Amino acid sequence: MGTTLQMDKERVRRNFDRHAGQYDQYAVVQRWMAERLLAYVSDWAKGRSVSRILEIGCGTGIVTAELSRLFPQAHITALDLSERMVEETRKRLGEDASNVTFIVADAEEWACAQMLQDQKAHLSQKITYDVIVSSAVFQWFNDPKRTCRSLQQLLALDGLFAFATFAGETFHELHRSFAAAESKLGLPMIPHGQSYPNGSDWQQMFGDQGLFRWDQQEYILTYRDVMAFLHSVKRVGASNAVKQTDSVGGSRALFQTMCAYYEQHFAASSGEGIQVTYDVGFGTYLHQER
């Protein structure tokens, strides 16, 4: 895993608040991620009784709505950093929100607080979840290992922890284009956005107390040009992922050189526009007694 940039959570929250109403229009890959993640959950749940579900990062409610449909008797706790995203989920669910408790909070802070609270509580008072699920959220964590270990403590025995997140090759065209532009202009190479953990990293974070499985898939999207791509990223509230491009690395020349390199070396296979790689990982963890 490369250098990890710390997320400015307040900036992340503001971005998602600002663009919550546009999210579904631009979140193409995020919808695919959600659909595949839900397939994992649905397959696991066959023949099982599910009474409590925790969703980390409900967003606009794409996953929440399907969980409510799949498990009509279950109670769902849906958490999100953005109050506006929670409002979008409420609107999507409508009357079906009666079995959902919404929490506006930073998932990392909340998970650690819950773990500490449970450690102080009597075992019989501990609240656990049969399913913990999260889609397109874990890339925002500053301390994913600590957060995942905290969430593991909230998972019921034989429960399922399933998540989808971006992996190492996401936006590799953009990163390589910036590096090439910096080299051409004689500038120091600096990170332009996040680096993402891969399966082996997540395996280590979850430890060996249960059964962990990782699958990975690449989605290739086509955009008219680099500006259209970055516009789309911003419209799903994710401009933090490439936040250093917002200031064009302090140089308009760098940005223009990067765009020229990108469009020359990463043209779409159709011959029109550019390609963008979204590398997506799907992690599942089963809580089992050793």
pLDDT tens sequence across 246-272: 444 458 999 999 999 999 999 998 889
**270 by DSSP, 3-state: which?**
coil
**Which pLDDT score is estimated for 123?**
58
pLDDT band with cut points at 50, 70 and 90 for residue 238: low
Instruction: Tell me the mean pLDDT in the region 128-152.
Output: 94
- Across 93-102, 156-165, 281-290, least confident range: 281-290
pLDDT tens sequence across 16-63: 888 888 888 888 999 999 999 999 999 999 999 999 999 999 999 999
Which residue bears the tokens 């955009």? Answer: 223
Sequence ranges of the domains in the chain: 9-168+194-219+277-287
Instruction: Tell me the mean pLDDT in the region 65-80.
Output: 96
The CATH classification number of 9-168+194-219+277-287 equals 3.40.50.150
Which residue bears the tokens 């064009």? Answer: 248
pLDDT tens sequence across 119-130: 666 655 678 999
**Which pLDDT score is estimated for 290?**
54
What's the mean pLDDT when you consider all of the chain?
A: 89
Instruction: Tell me the mean pLDDT in the region 214-233.
Output: 94
Percent of the chain with pLDDT over 90: 70
In 3D, which of 219, 60, 238, 67 has the Cα closest to residue 139? 238
**Which pLDDT score is estimated for 121?**
65
pLDDT band with cut points at 50, 70 and 90 for residue 245: very low
Amino acid identity of residue 28, one-letter, is: V
Q: pLDDT at residue 14 above 50?
A: yes
Instruction: Tell me the mean pLDDT in the region 213-227.
Output: 96
- pTM over 0.75? The answer is yes
Q: What are the structure tokens assigned to 254, written together? A: 């760098």
Rounded to whole angstroms, the Cα distance separating 261 from 89 reads: 40
Rounded to whole angstroms, the Cα distance separating 132 from 161 reads: 5
**Which pLDDT score is estimated for 248?**
41
Q: pLDDT at residue 243 above 80?
A: no
pLDDT band with cut points at 50, 70 and 90 for residue 15: confident
Per-residue DSSP letter, 142: S
